[in-house]
Chains A and B, each alone.
Chain A
């Protein structure tokens, strides 16, 4: 049996070395990789064995009892689960679109600013909210939006005559009409600045000759944005959208700190649903929570595959 042959970078055909020899020759790299491999196995793969509990009744006390697909049957027949599922998709996808659109608009605006000091100052100001914890953000907005007489927004609405004397203050965070717009507004306020970094990096890489050529052709500022800047950003926008689409099922913290019982209908997401099923009950059934979590992971996995396919179609290469 003839040995497999490979072509070296110099164009010479040689016999491929045996696997053992190749490993020995590169033993330094393998040893270097070993801790990472151990870390991955322990921290990422070993816990995956826990998914088997999705098929068990698993409570803090007592034996684990195999129940097959019972938890999934219960999950699919529970209206609260489906509410949470659709809310997750709607809130996440809208988040994705809104924060990216606003990041693109702000990036272009920053790119057009000529005053460097003003540009840097503005950048710093819009980056700051990203570094605030969600708990702090929720506290601040709860105070601003309070329905009591101390609420700033309601006070302004009243001062401006939008709320009449007979009108009740608006309870923004407990209103099914207002909760989502407020949530999206907070998301955009918090994450737009951070989102501009990648777009500004792309914009700084656009060849200045393209703008010079557009100037010679007599293009206005808006025409330069439309025909030079935006096309240059398109690939980045699509890449960011695709990469983030895979994470849409991970929504938790931002919702958890802002939602309440009054708005579950429009705000409860899969992760908060799991949280309540696990931590708001004295004797929780971890099996059911695991089943819901497993379903969420499967949907996330499908989304990753869809993104990979979309990436291949758009960019010519996948993301995994």
Chain B
């Protein structure tokens, strides 16, 4: 009897624990739904209360609209859900709740942000869609967008874009106009242009090897600089040959525009499927320009001009090697993102007590004469998931995208973040790295717009939220500007020296086989650059492996022309 009682007790405990698990989930979801209801309720009350500034901006939006637009407050009573990647720097531990709250107050509807892991964003989005868990809108890279555009999942926002309130303020209309397909459909919206990479050189290393950056004009000059960085002792540790010319996260990038981490070696080569001026699609990887680029890299790898870890380094590893405290094994040259990253790289050099002065290398002659400059990648975009209800889709556009470039309150949120969390206009003083020799004092008077210390790192001043102020296609009209001097100089340098990257192809076979094609390219690059193999035979292996797939892609792409 005791055994039975014990077994019943155990069984009951297990059942209850299982029920508790399920119950917990239910409670969580109901709690979450309660929370969202509460939030919605509080929003609606705050909306009512915020009939001052908020209502004014909403009214303004309404007035500007054609008059036929539905009031998004009515349509989106339940709020909207957006999926974002790491480019929204106001992350959960970096003031996202405040950003969200202030956005809700300004726009007047409930906002739910689902921020997915940046590095696994593509597959996380795939899983969301596979489980039919669609947000109202989301961020996509240009490559992702090109693959999802023909699926019918995305809403055509061409009309909404044409009638948007921000149209009168747009300074770079071509960014979105160029995204329209042949029939004029616009399935995405880019609030900023794409940005690209420029080549940074450590000034101290140039001085150590006696090279003036102004004298680096051609590939030979560039290569001699790399060789000098490897053969000499630019880090001043008394050992020659323990440093490298350049480091990169791969000889070829993992996403378009592929060549932006080593542009001086690739020059006129574009090792991917691209569209020629006559409209035909070709595989640039099989072209002679690519073979010549591979031979340049082969020689550089052999000479130590390229850090050998370039083959396997991730962007994080390449960055950290470049600005590490111990400069042994580091490189003098690093081609990386322009603008804000100019400041970030400098900050990291300072943090690691390395001479922080960097110079930006203008595109070498071979690049200028062929491609024209550094490549400006296709912009990351916002897309609206087509819910089958044009009124709802239009309301999402009005609430999210139209307000994103309102030039005032909401745009400031997307550009700089939340008031009094990421930025402020109140008088204040603060010190970064207090008590150290890197301490820096900041002092602002009342009414002066300024950025505050980052919520999760008080020793670093906040830089931006989602939209880089220098890249926005429509400027802020409220005069708020606290762009870092270096970041501004970096953006100016890039815009003066860039050209648009070739468009990413859209073909069913390419979508299915892009991974296989990339693996085959990597096999060629490894065989030629690292193993010093013959470029023709390596290329033949590429053709044997994926030639038929490439042909199929080209057939589909050219047939669609």
Contacts and interface: CB of A to CB of B under 8 A. Distances in A.
Contacts of B243: 149
Given A32-B14, A168-B302, A281-B512, A261 B522 contact: yes
A320 B515 CA distance: 39
B11 interface: yes
- A146, A150, A261 pick with most chain B CB within 10 angstroms: A261
B284 interface: no
Interface stretch (B66-74, B90-98, B142-150, B392-400): B142-150
Nearest to B126: A60
A150 B127 CA distance: 40
B477 interface: no
Interface stretch (B2-10, B425-433, B492-500): B2-10
A220 B297 CA distance: 62
Contacts of A39: 18
Contacts of B309: 146-148
Contact of B11 (A28, A284, A285): A28
B522 A262 contact: yes
Contacts of A32: 7-8, 10-11, 14
B4 A28 contact: yes
Contacts of A277: 515
B15 interface: yes
Interface string A280-291: 111111100000
B515 A174 contact: no
Contacts, number: 127
Interface string B132-157: 00000000000110011001110000
B514 A281 contact: yes
A34 B15 contact: yes
Contact of B144 (A28, A264, A282, A286): A282
A282 B149 CA distance: 12
Contacts of A282: 122, 126, 143-144, 147-148, 511, 514
A30 to B, nearest CB: 9
Contacts of B328: 149-150
B455 interface: no
A171 B529 CA distance: 13
B234 to A, nearest CB: 13
Contact of B130 (A36, A38, A60, A78): A60
A60 B311 contact: no
A123 interface: no
Nearest to A36: B14
A32 B5 CA distance: 11
Contacts of B151: 59, 61-62, 283
B307 interface: yes
A80 interface: yes
A147 B308 contact: yes
Contacts of A61: 129, 148, 151-153
A169 interface: yes
A34 B308 contact: no
B244 interface: yes
A260 interface: yes
A31 B16 CA distance: 12
Contacts of A174: 311-312, 526, 530
A41 to B, nearest CB: 12
Given A62-B151, A261-B519, A284 B312 contact: no
Nearest to A25: B4
Contacts of A260: 311-312
Interface string B225-248: 000000000000000011110000
Nearest to B127: A60
A96 interface: no
Nearest to B130: A60
A262 B329 contact: no
A227 interface: no
Contacts of B312: 173-174, 260-262
B507 to A, nearest CB: 11
Given A280-B515, A285-B512, A31 B7 contact: yes
Nearest to B512: A285
Which 7 pairs show the lowest CB-CB distances between chains A and B? A261-B522, A60-B129, A28-B7, A150-B329, A279-B123, A149-B242, A32-B11
Interface of A: 28-29, 31-36, 38-39, 58-62, 78-80, 146-150, 168-169, 171, 173-174, 260-262, 264-265, 276-286
18 contacts: A31-B8, A32-B10, A33-B11, A61-B152, A62-B151, A147-B309, A148-B307, A148-B309, A149-B241, A149-B242, A149-B328, A169-B308, A174-B530, A261-B311, A279-B120, A281-B122, A283-B148, A283-B151
Given A28-B8, A32-B11, 13 more contacts: A32-B10, A35-B14, A39-B18, A61-B148, A146-B309, A148-B308, A149-B244, A174-B526, A281-B514, A282-B511, A282-B514, A284-B126, A286-B130
Interface of B: 3-5, 7-8, 10-12, 14-15, 18, 120, 122-123, 125-130, 143-144, 147-148, 151-153, 241-244, 302, 307-309, 311-312, 321, 326, 328-329, 511-512, 514-516, 518-519, 522-523, 526, 530, 545
